[in-house]
Amino acid sequence: MVGSNAPILITGAGQRVGLHCALRLLDDGHPLVFSYRSEREGVAQLRERGAVAIQADFSSEAGILAFIDELKAKAPRLRAIVHNASEWLAETPGDETQAFARMINVHMLAPYLINLHCAELLGPGPADIVHFSDDVTRKGSARHMAYCASKAGLESLTLSFAARLAPAIKVNGIAPALVMFNDNDDAAYREKTLAKSALGIEPGAEVVYQGLRYLLDNPYVTGTTLTLNGGRHLK
């Protein structure tokens, strides 16, 4: 990978796509700092591989600022910041405001504050910020409006930070559709979901890592959100 020996920060790396990307970065010999919300098998696995772990709660401003302070103490320089941390909450009657505020904090306020306070840690040399969004922002969601809105806001931040931080720092996004099922997803749900895309496959988390590598390695891409949806927009 193009860049220095400074570590890459990836948030929310304790499971699923974030864990896969973190492990692949380590496989490629890159130092790593990661955040996690709760102890999981994946967190222990990353620690054993030498990654620096920082427990963080991005649901509040205080939690985000505490993370930034600890990050600066443990990593005076960074090669890249990868915002993978995500939250999904049902918008049940009576709890809409709490769910909306929490997802806004995790998906928008945390990247916003981390970028503002930690951009100074990036460089010299190649430097990147990557936001993980969601393909659902392409058409909206009648059932999950708060989640969709917060991820759409993150895509707007991609454009704004790309303009603000150029040319020293590239800022891009990745917007995957569902790339891997949960173990408890039944056959009917899997069949219905696969039918939504032109390619009709469950590609796995590696396609997200391939997208991340492209954005980190290519010196001429900024302000772009890379769509990984198997051709859902064609159906």
Rounded Cα distance, 27 and 50, in Å: 11
113 contact partners, CB below 8 Å, separation of at least 6: 61, 64, 65, 68
- Given the residues 112, 147, 209, 220, select the one marked as catalytic: 147
Rounded Cα distance, 230 and 196, in Å: 9
The helix (run of H) or strand (run of E) holding residue 130 is strand 128-132
* 209 is a catalytic site residue: no
| H helical segments located in 56-202 | 61-74, 96-104, 110-118, 145-165, 187-194
| H helical segments located in the chain | 16-27, 41-48, 61-74, 96-104, 110-118, 145-165, 187-194, 206-217
Rounded Cα distance, 114 and 121, in Å: 11
Strand ranges across the sheet with 8-10: 52-55, 32-36, 8-10, 80-83, 128-132, 170-176, 225-228
DSSP state of 137: G
What are the residues facing 228 on neighbouring strands?
A: 176
Cα-trace Rg, the chain: 17
Q: Does residue 28 contact residue 51 with C-beta atoms inside 8 Å?
A: no
The catalytic site residues sit at: 147
